[in-house]
Structure 1
């Protein structure tokens, strides 16, 4: 469920449901997908969160790949932790955890205008025993778990300390670290500080070597912070996790976007009290990448997400990582782009070759249609076919011109991805190009399905294949230095709808390409084809038994090329849409025009205008136009507070 599908399809439906039901359905669906064979790969592919050592670090001595954590109450049963682990999180909070389970029947509420979630009880959880059993079965991922330990409501300090000991014993085998949460039990600040100090000592004995961070409520008073500092509980801990929720009058707690101001203020106060080596995790108010940037600039070392994922979408972790990566890259010297002949230039030339080949194929298909070796294979000349049934030649022209337009579109995508993607070392561009190339070159074998060997296609493949192989030389990944989108503004939201249009179009073209290839190597014709020709397959074979193999060769080749193009389009739509990437908008525009123009023009030219036959083309054109319109402001201008 990436952001483009979340905002355009799923969020409108989910927000019509009760909050708890919507949450459970979402987490169950994601969790189920992650447990299916290949499920984690699908989730990673959709999100495409790239690993980079620039983002990796430590949280209180625990190695983490990203400075973004997942809040515990967002998925209290761990249903989708395996799926969430693929989305760019570096660690996961589990909890709050109490000795006994705490359940409430009151509904969870959404306050959409304020981007808030109101929980009836901040303590609600499955209890230590059940959580320990779940962890014993395995989480299905390798992210560190930080357990947030809380005493049961209404406990005395002595009872709370006993319960914290019990929690440490039960959960230490599965924990990478702990958050100690006991500051909002209503005890005097000095007494709470003393209990936490003793709990730290217990953790050092029971969970040797595992860090303990104090969990400081977001609305903790200055007196409580001073008591913590005075007792040594603050300075002797291995870090602080600043809470995400504000307590509500009458009970319950609220997690919301407007917690950012309180979080920034508390981060600054805590950073002034903490030693430089002590990490600080800010858990509240992160609803867009800019919020995380401000918290990190104020002194936080990591951020943790909760309500932001509900309102901004599951891609928020990735977007935060990209924003943090950009800020860190700005502090590093800029690497030189790869040289033309070292690698990317060969893919650029391959794209130009495809473009030129498409132009030549169009000219031939619009004039003679058949090449000399086609006539040799058939054993008849072009004029003989025209005299027998001119629509046969027109039909072949239709297949070959659509193939030519597709080749031109592929050539434009390859040149653009090479020049703007491979040249900068962008991993997603490399993945898109090579996946498309592998499919394109493999589709050559479809030409042999009916025993027809095309020497021209073989020669072209022999020339272009080495260019792809030469591109692989010394091509390593580099993160982009362009500023990403920092805000959840209107143009970003519109771009999610446009991105959805492009992805759906790419997937539809992939289905179309596979279908055409399958038809080409099996039945060859659909019913509307035969209606246009006015002939049956038997009549075609009776006139010339090599005619259908030649047509099948064209159909299979076009289907393979269309599938190859669809991969480039879908990958670019999934991974490349980012603020200010104007070149990608022009790639979609110029890359789409030849294919759509060829498809519409040739059908009108030969009179093959059956509505059902052309309906997929009309739908694709609508998606294409909508995608261009909706992504234009974001890709071409992309403005917003915090952009450099």
Structure 2
């Protein structure tokens, strides 16, 4: 559920449902998908939330792949953890965890205008035993691996082996002695699964300062004994009074807590409120904590992160890492990826870009491959629009152009229409490959290499579709032999660099419109891929659709009677065009899924220029030969509408310069 689908389709539908129903439905659906064979791969493919090494961040001794995590209250029943782990996060908080289950069936209420969520009780959870049972099931599906630390089995990790931080709370109404005994048992049972603990002593707000201090001192010592390698953070509620905050900070120093976790909700008489309104309070707490105990104690902040700039503001105020909750609901599952992109940009923008490899070493071969395909497409277009058939076609049929025209006056125009559309598709692929090579591989962009590899693998493999009816095309074989080494040489490029364009940091109107534009282009990619598969299948089986036969005023049997090799020749054109269209679609789809970002002007122009030859060939040749059946042309018309609409909606986001520069956070340390 990337942002281009969440913002445009799913969020409007989900927000019509009760909040609890929408949450359980969404997490349940994502969790079910992730458990299917290949489901996690589908989620990763749609999101492409890669985590470059520069994002690695330590938190109280825990090495995180990203400083962005998920709050425990987001997935209170743990149904979507495997899916959520694919969204570019560095850790998952589980909790609050209490000894017994806490339930509350009162409705959860969203305030869309304020972007807040009112929970009747944010300490709702399934209880210690149920949580451990779920973790055991997760562990049963993980491959055995050695621990990063002696005696610490890697159960608390998803398919991406993310660390789990457990936020522990005692059952309401307990005195400090009973709460301490309960928490000792909880820590002991969870120690094999945890990478760290967060101790929440704020359930009983009527405890005296002395009782709270004694409880925290003893629970810290108990954690040292039960889980000596697990860092322990102290939970500070978002609405913690500054007088009590000073007392908690003294305990952090005296008892040597490993870090602090600043909460994300404010307790009221009607429930617990979490949302955008908590950001400013969180910044105030971060500044107070940093000013009191310095930067030696890392802080995990969770409140008010609804767009990348919110996370940057919390990091600038002193947080070492952030967690998402309400922002995930209002902004979408892609928020973590967007924050990561902003952090990466902050960390690399002051550093010189690595020197590009020489043209001939690797990436330049993709530019030559693209140029070769453009030239080949132009030549194929010229031949298809003039003589139509080549000498080896005539030799295969044992018939020349004049004889074919005498058989059926529409036969050559029909064959021309197949070959011109193939030529236009070749030119489109060549433009995409050449510019992906120049702007993508040359700058070592991971998504560009993945797009080219996938599309190229499909394209070269589709050569065998030409053999579906036993016709070997020597020209296509020669082209494949020439271009394949170029493709292989270009794939040696090491693609490990992030984009150096300033990423989007705000949920502004341009970004929201761009989600619609991206949705249209993604739909275009899937539609073209489906069309390519269907055309290739038809080419290898039935060869013709009813509209083709109506245009030709004949049947396959009649054509076979005229020349037994005529249908195989036409089939080879159709199968080849289907394979080329599918290869082209993969390149477009990959760019639409992974490359769309603010200020990526080159990609917008690449998609514009790359699409023109294909559509010009398709519409132009049909008009030229009089094959204007509306049903036959409707898929192309639909694709063209997606193409124009997507680029139009993306233009302000990808091409136009913002009138006012966006604020930039200082480079993160």
Q: What TM-score, normalized to structure 2?
A: 0.94
5 Å-filtered alignment, 1:170-209, equals 170-186=189-205, 187-209=207-229
Shift of 1:232: 4.8
Query: 1:516-560 CA distances to partner (integer Å, 9 max, x unpaired)?
Result: 001101110111111111111000000000100100010001000
Q: Which range moved further: 380-389 or 503-512?
A: 380-389
Distance 1:190 1:398 in 2: 86
| CA–CA separation in structure 2 for the residues paired with 1:232 and 1:73 | 24
Aligned-residue RMSD, C-alpha: 1.4
Return closer, same or farther for 1:71/1:126 CA change in 2, 3 Å cut-off.
same
- The question of whether the paired residues in 2 share the 8 Å contact of 1:129 and 1:170 is answered with no
Q: How far apart, in 2, do the equivalents of 1:643 and 1:538 lie?
A: 69
Structure 2 match to 1:591: 610
Separation in structure 2 between the aligned mates of residue 64 and residue 232 of structure 1, nearest angstrom = 22
Alignment of 1:243-254 (within 5 A): 243-248=263-268, 250-254=269-273
1:211 corresponds to which residue?
231
User: 2:124 aligns to what SS in structure 1?
Assistant: coil
The 10-residue stretch of structure 1 (45-54 or 32-41) with the greater mean CA deviation from structure 2: 45-54
1:169 counterpart residue number? 188
- Aligned equivalents of 1:193, 1:633: Cα separation in 2: 55
Shift of 1:474: 4.6
Secondary structure of the residue that 1:110 maps to in structure 2? strand
Q: Which residue of 2 aligns with 1:568?
A: 587
Alignment map for 1:267-278 (pairs within 5 Å):
267-278=286-297
Q: Distance in 1 between matches of 2:202 and 2:55?
A: 32
Change (3 A) 1:643 1:279: closer
Structure-2 residue corresponding to 1:429: 448
Question: How much does 1:61 deviate?
Answer: 1.3
Instruction: Report SS of the residue matched to 1:94.
Output: strand
Q: Confirm whether residue 122 of structure 1 aligns to residue 122 of structure 2.
A: yes
Shift of 1:365: 0.7
- Corresponding residue of 2:400: 381
The gaps in structure 2 that reach 5 residues or longer are 140-157
What residue is the counterpart of 1:54 in the other structure?
Answer: 54
Per the TM alignment, residue 390 of structure 1 is displaced from its structure 2 partner at its CA by 1.3
Partner SS state of residue 410, structure 2: helix
Q: Helix, strand or coil for the counterpart of 1:424?
A: coil
Other-structure match for 1:540: 559
> Which residue of structure 1 lines up, in the alignment, with residue 150 of structure 2?
none
Are 2:39 and 1:15 equivalent residues in the alignment? no
Corresponding residue to 2:436 among 417, 437, 447: 417
Q: For structure 1, which segment, 229-238 or 539-548, has the greater mean C-alpha deviation from structure 2 after superposition?
A: 229-238
Taking structure 1 as reference, are residues 190 and 637 closer, same or farther at Cα in structure 2, changes over 3 Å only? farther
1:64-463 matched pairs, under 5 angstroms: 64-138=64-138, 140-141=158-159, 142-186=161-205, 187-232=207-252, 236-248=256-268, 250-463=269-482
Give the equivalent residue in structure 1 for 2:576: 557
Structure 1: 5+ residue stretches without partners: none
Aligned mates of 1:36, 1:220 — CA distance in 2: 43
Q: Deviations over 1:242-284 (max 9, x none)?
A: 0011112x24211111211111111111112235332110111
> SS of the counterpart of 1:117?
strand
Please state how far the C-alpha of 1:194 moved relative to its aligned partner. 2.5
- Counterpart residue number, 2:662: 641
The 3-state SS of whatever aligns with 1:258 is helix
Post-superposition offset of 1:590: 0.6
Cα displacement (A) at 1:59: 1.7
Offset at 1:355?
Answer: 0.6
1:446-485 C-alpha deviation (Å, 9 max, x unpaired)? 1111111111111111111111111123534212222111
Residue 154 (structure 2) aligns with: none
Per-residue Cα deviation, 1:552-582 (whole angstroms, up to 9, x for no partner): 0100010000000000000000000011000
Deviations 1:102-155 (A, max 9, x none): 111101111111111110002111111111111122264321111111111222
> Would the alpha carbon gap of residues 637 and 226 (structure 1) be closer, same or farther in structure 2, given more than 3 Å must change?
same
Equivalents in 2 of 1:96, 1:418: separation in Å? 49
Q: Secondary structure at the match of 2:53?
A: coil
1:13-52, aligned counterparts within 5 Å?
13-52=13-52
User: Which position in structure 2 is the counterpart of 1:504?
Assistant: 523
Number of residue pairs matched by the alignment: 643
Equivalent-residue separation in structure 2 for 1:39 and 1:120 (angstroms): 34
Q: Is the 8 A contact 1:193 1:233 kept in 2?
A: no
Could you tell me whether the CA contact under 8 Å between 2:449 and 2:491 is conserved in 1?
Answer: no
How many angstroms apart in 2 are the aligned matches of 1:228 and 1:22?
A: 37
* Secondary structure in 2 matching 1:553: helix
Q: Secondary structure at the match of 1:192?
A: helix
Segments ≥4 residues shifted beyond 6 Å:
none
Query: Would the aligned equivalents of 2:264 and 2:303 in 1 still touch at CA under 8 Å?
Result: yes
* Deviation at residue 333 of structure 1 after TM alignment: 3.1
Post-superposition offset of 1:374 = 0.8
**2:655 is paired with a residue of what secondary structure?**
helix
1:417-462 superposed Cα distances (whole Å, 9 cap, x missing partner): 0111001000000010111111111111111111111111111111
Q: State the distance in 1 between where 2:346 and 2:229 align.
A: 32
Q: Is the 8 A contact 1:148 1:180 kept in 2?
A: yes
Structure 2 CA distance, aligned partners of 1:302 and 1:572?
A: 30
Q: Is the partner of 1:253 in helix, strand or coil? A: strand
The CA deviation at 1:643 is 5.3
Counterpart contact for 1:197–1:232, Cα < 8 Å: no
